[in-house]
Amino acid sequence: MTSRSLPTITVFQRSPDGGRGLARDMRVRWALEEVGQPYDLRPVSFAAMKAPAHRARHPFGQIPTYEEGDVTLFETGAIVLHIASRHDGLFPANADGRARAVNWMFAALSSIEPVIVEREMARHLERDEPWFERRQHLVEDRIRARLGDLSRRLGDADWLDGGFSAGDLMTADVLRRLVGSGLLEEHPNLAAFVARAEARPAFRRAFDAQRAFFGAADVGT
Amino acid sequence: MTSRSLPTITVFQRSPDGGRGLARDMRVRWALEEVGQPYDLRPVSFAAMKAPAHRARHPFGQIPTYEEGDVTLFETGAIVLHIASRHDGLFPANADGRARAVNWMFAALSSIEPVIVEREMARHLERDEPWFERRQHLVEDRIRARLGDLSRRLGDADWLDGGFSAGDLMTADVLRRLVGSGLLEEHPNLAAFVARAEARPAFRRAFDAQRAFFGAADVGT
């Protein structure tokens, strides 16, 4: 019965990354663990994601979505902001600090993630094109420019603006997409920032939960 | 003396688009006009944008930035959210409606704008590459997929979720980048959505203000 009032997130039925936690539900699970809010899951297949029932929740036919009471959200930025607004633990108490944390959330999603996604899209869709190798260098230089700026701003601080916030959570989860690419590793302070974020107990719980879910689903098939 | 307490936004000293209002300060000016908040301007040259004084405000060396009291913001999503949170007129009164408006803000900036920017980046940086024409078609198909989904969700409604909100403002300002490309015009309801947004008195005031500023600057040089 209590389960009825839990927020529900949609997740991939089968992990495209083998449980490495690179899908965007990871950042929502992580935020919920940071604030101690349990949640329910609704797994969707790749086919169901593009069908009308899911499109009603997510017009672009992706995951995750977040449903709580009468509200349905489909952008991870809005979902994490919603969670951070309704619970303690992800936003500073003062209004200015909160505005700056929100600023880092938008920076992660609109200034840093898009060029990282562009690199991934090219690797999926343009790998056989004659321009792939040359263009990949151009895209990686655009990523390097962003990471260089971010690295200089972070300096030797633990987090981007004082204590850990939803801005750090989103930035770290976006940068996780680059782990192992060599690009993140060019900036030891950014690599350490991601490692510090991944060492948080809430991150570990969220990561283990998604891995266990996908492991169980694989066994069951 | 009152000027001291006004928020200050940084803008291009000279318009790269000839006053067409496609730079990202337009959405901040528009939001401020919607809520009736006057503001000051700090023009920055292209060289000054990359210098340390401006980098302290904006780590990626871009415009706009927004300064109000002790808070400095550099992402337009965070700036508009900040304005909408502190004034009436851009968010619904109820919490669920506000969460949905924020959801559309993130959708505009992280699901719609990036692929539009990708098309523009290619047109600036890759026009002489042998792959330019073929790849431009791939990018435009990605834009078409997003616009098709957005068009279906909007349907015959005036705005994305009830009354006009910061989510519509951000979505319309992102879609304005496509006016005249033919891509927006493939969806008459989206073209009408943008026209409806541009007909708002607050949009007109903001547009005229940036055009007058750039006109005046050009005359003065």
* Residue A218, min C-alpha distance to chain B (Å): 30
The winner for highest mean pLDDT among A133-137, A214-218, B101-105, B209-213 is B101-105
A-chain CB neighbours of B100 within 8 Å are 71, 73
For residues A191-207, give the mean pLDDT.
98
The pLDDT of residue B217: 59
**Angle, to 10 degrees, between the axis of helix B166-175 and the axis of helix B188-198?**
110
Relative to beta strand B40-44, strand B8-12 is parallel
Inspect the interface and report whether the beta carbons of A153 and B125 lie closer than 8 Å: no
Percent share of chain B, pLDDT over 90: 90
* Measured distance between the N- and C-terminal CA atoms of chain B, rounded to whole angstroms: 28
Inspect the interface and report whether the beta carbons of A75 and B118 lie closer than 8 Å: no
* Residue B106, min C-alpha distance to chain A (Å): 6
Q: Kindly state the helix (H) or strand (E) to which residue A145 belongs, with its residue range.
A: helix A132-154
Report H helices in A155-187. Answer: 166-175
Report H helices in chain B. Answer: 25-35, 46-49, 52-57, 76-86, 95-106, 113-125, 132-154, 166-175, 188-198, 201-220
Inspect the interface and report whether the beta carbons of A107 and B75 lie closer than 8 Å: yes
Confidence class of residue B221 from pLDDT cuts 50, 70 and 90?
very low
Closest CA to B29 of B48, B1, B6: B6
Inspect the interface and report whether the beta carbons of B146 and A109 lie closer than 8 Å: no
* Residue A87, min C-alpha distance to chain B (Å): 14
B-chain CB neighbours of A133 within 8 Å are none
The pLDDT of residue B219: 47
Inspect the interface and report whether the beta carbons of B129 and A135 lie closer than 8 Å: yes
- Residue-wise pLDDT for B34-52, tens only, equals 999 999 999 999 999 999 9
Inspect the interface and report whether the beta carbons of B59 and A129 lie closer than 8 Å: no
The pTM for the full model equals 0.95
Nearest-by-Cβ selection for A110 from B109, B138, B153: B109
CA distance B195 to B198: 5
For residues B165-169, give the mean pLDDT.
98
Structural domains in chain A, sorted by start: 2-89+202-220 (3.40.30.10), 95-200 (1.20.1050.10)
Confidence class of residue A4 from pLDDT cuts 50, 70 and 90?
low
The pLDDT of residue A221: 37
Tokens describing residue B200 = 């708002």
Give me the count of residues in chain B.
221
Inspect the interface and report whether the beta carbons of B74 and A107 lie closer than 8 Å: yes
Nearest-by-Cβ selection for A106 from B55, B109, B134: B109
Enumerate chain B positions whose Cβ falls within 8 A of a Cβ in A. 55, 59-61, 69-71, 73-78, 81-82, 96, 99-100, 102-103, 105-107, 109-111, 113-114, 117-118, 121, 125-126, 129-131, 134-135, 138, 142, 146, 149-150, 152-153
Which chain A residue's Cα is nearest to B77?
Answer: A106
A-chain CB neighbours of B146 within 8 Å are 60
The pLDDT of residue B47: 95
Residue B68, beta-bridge partner list: B71
pLDDT at A161 over 70: yes
| Interface test with chain B among A24, A60, A80, A142, by most B beta carbons within 10 Å | A60
pLDDT at A94 over 50: yes
A-chain CB neighbours of B60 within 8 Å are 107, 111, 146, 149
The pLDDT of residue A95: 94
pLDDT at B1 over 50: no
Tokens describing residue A139 = 């895209």
B-chain CB neighbours of A144 within 8 Å are none
The pLDDT of residue B210: 95
For residues B74-92, give the mean pLDDT.
98
Closest CA to A6 of A66, A85, A88, A74: A66
Inspect the interface and report whether the beta carbons of B109 and A105 lie closer than 8 Å: no
* Residue B205, min C-alpha distance to chain A (Å): 26
Could you tell me if B78 and B166 are in contact, meaning their C-beta atoms sit under 8 angstroms apart? no
Q: Say how many CA atoms lie within 13 Å of A145 toward its Cβ.
A: 12
Inspect the interface and report whether the beta carbons of B149 and A105 lie closer than 8 Å: no
Could you tell me if A177 and A116 are in contact, meaning their C-beta atoms sit under 8 angstroms apart? yes
Sign of CA dihedral B183, B145, B174, B163: positive
DSSP-based three-state secondary structure for B13: coil
Confidence class of residue A18 from pLDDT cuts 50, 70 and 90?
confident
Inspect the interface and report whether the beta carbons of A105 and B78 lie closer than 8 Å: yes
Inspect the interface and report whether the beta carbons of B77 and A111 lie closer than 8 Å: no
DSSP-based three-state secondary structure for B33: helix
